[in-house]
Structure 1
Amino acid sequence: MALALGLDVSGSVDNAENRLQLDGLAAALEHPETQSALFGTPGTTVALAVYQWGAPDQQDVLIDWTQITGQSQLAHVVGRLRSTDSRFVDPYTGLGAALVFGANMLAEREDCWKHTLDISGDGPSNAGPPPDSVTLTARPRVTVNALVINPTGRDNVTKDLTHTRTLLDHYRTDVVRGPGAFVETAQDFDDFEDAMIRKLRRELRPLALSQLRASR
C-alpha cells in the first residue's frame, strides 16, 4: 500500500498551527492502533511519503518514499516530522496543484496494490486549477481522502468556497474521490492529532483486512 500525506502549510497556517499539525501526525503514526495495522503481519507493508503544499507552485517533499518495515523506519519518519518547522508564507491555497503533485508521487509506486492520497487543509482552494477540474485517471487508480480542519468554515465566510456552504462541503464535493474515499474532520488544529488517528485507522483498514484474509 502506498500512502502519500499532503499537509497544508500555506499562509493561513501559522507557526503554532504548523507545529500542531506536524507533531499531531507524528503522534498518530506512533499510536498503538496505527502501529498494529502497520506491523500486524510480516511481509505486508506500507510505503509512506509526506509532502507540504501551499500556493500552486509550492510543494515540498518532507519525507520521500519510505517502506515502513519496522520501528527504525517509523522512528525516522517521526523524528523528521518533529524536527522540522518549514512552511510557506504565500497566502494562496493551490489545492488542485497539491492533488496533482501527490498523484505524481504515487505514480512512482507502481509496485503497490493500493494508492491513497491523504490531503489535509484548513481553507478552500483559491489559486491554480480548481480541485474538481483535476484529472488523476492517467495515473494508477488513486483514492483521495481528506482531513478538513475547521469544517464549518467559520473563518472562511468571506472566501470563495466554490458554490458550497462550508469547507467540509467543499472537500466532499470537489476534492475526495476514488474507491472508498472519505473526509475526516478536526474542529481546529488542537484536534488534529485525534482526527489523524481516526483517519489513519480507517485508511489502513484495507491492510488489516488483507492480513485477516491471508491468515485464513
Structure 2
Amino acid sequence: MDPVDVALCLAMDCSASVDFDEFDLMARGTAAALRDAGVIAAATSGPRRAAAIGLLLWSGVGAQDVALGWTRLDGPESAGALADAIANVPRIPPPGLTAIGEGMAAGLALLARFPGEARRLVMDVSGDGGHNAGRPPGPVRDLAVQAGITVNGLAILNEEPDLLDHYSSEVIGGPGSFAMTCADYADFADAILRKLRRELAPGAVAEAPPPRA
C-alpha cells in the first residue's frame, strides 16, 4: 500500500450486550460517516492525501476477528466502496463477555501488520460496557502509547452511564487522544461522524493531553 497520513483501526464491540440491531446501527452509522464530505476531506487533507482503515470486531477472550483488512481511503470513490463494505460486514465474533484489553491487543497486532508507511497510527475503540474478561485494557493502552499509537474511545452509555470514566482512565492514551460519548445506539451515527472528522484530521495531535503522572 502507498504511504498514508493515518492508519486507523476501528475496534468495535460485539459482546453479548450488543444485540444484532445495535450492531447494525454501529456498522451502518460508521458507513454513513465514511461517506460524509467532511470525513473524506479530513482523511485526504494531509500531505499524503490518504488514510487507511481496518475494521476489527471483538467480544470475549479469544473472540476477535478482522472483519475488513487495510483499505485505502483517498477520495469519494474509495470512501464509498469502504462504506459499502462496512455497512454489509457480518457480525463474526460470537457474543461473549467484554474483553476490551483483548480487543485492543488484537487492534495493536493489526496496526503492526499495516502494509505500508503511515505518519500516524490510531485505534478507535467503541463499546457499551466496561472491561470484565481477559487482560485489563490499561497495560495494553500503555503498550500502545510506548509504540507511538494513539487510542481514542467512543463510550455508548445505554448500559453503563459512567462508562466514560472507565474509557478515560483505562482505554485512551497517546498523542491527541480523546474519548467521546453517545447516549445510545440511535445516537451512534452522529457520534462516530464527529469522531472520525476529528481523528482523521491532520491536526489531531495538536490537542495532545499532558503526560500522565
Q: Post-superposition shift, 1:72?
A: 3.2
Aligned pairs, number = 199
1:39 Cα offset (Å):
3.3
Specify the SS of the correspondent of 2:119.
coil
Give unpaired runs (5+ residues) of structure 2.
1-5, 207-213
- Asked if 2 retains the 8 angstrom alpha-carbon contact of 1:11 and 1:88, the reply is no
1:33 has 2:38 as partner: yes
Aligned pair in 2 of structure 1 residues 192, 137: CA closer, same or farther (>3 Å)?
closer
Q: Compare 135-144 and 108-117 and name the one that shifted more.
A: 135-144
Aligned-pair identity in percent equals 36
Per-residue deviation, 1:61:
0.9
Deviations 1:89-137 (A, max 9, x none): 4331110011111111111236111010000010011000011122425
Matched residues in 2 for 1:203 and 1:180: separation? Answer: 8
Q: Which runs of 5+ in 1 are unaligned?
A: 155-165, 211-216
Match of 1:157 in 2: none
Alignment of 1:95-174 (within 5 A): 95-109=100-114, 111-134=117-140, 135-137=142-144, 140-150=147-157, 153-154=160-161, 166-174=162-170
**Structure 1 residue 13 corresponds to structure 2 residue 18:** yes
The answer as to 2:29 corresponding to 1:24 is yes
Q: Report SS of the residue matched to 2:81.
A: helix
> Which TM-score applies when normalising by structure 1?
0.84
After superposition, the CA RMSD in angstroms is: 2.3
2:99 to 94, 113, 125: 94
Amino acid of the structure 1 residue aligned with 2:149? V
Q: Which residue of 2 aligns with 1:213?
A: none
Distance (Å, rounded) in 2 between the aligned partners of 1:34 and 1:106: 21
Report how far residue 2 of structure 1 moved: 0.8
> 1:41-120, aligned counterparts within 5 Å?
43-109=48-114, 111-120=117-126
In structure 2, the residue corresponding to 1:120 is in which secondary structure? strand
Contact 1:151 1:167 in 2 (8 A): no
CA displacement 1:58-102 (0-9 Å, x = unmatched): 111111011112333222211112223415443311100111111
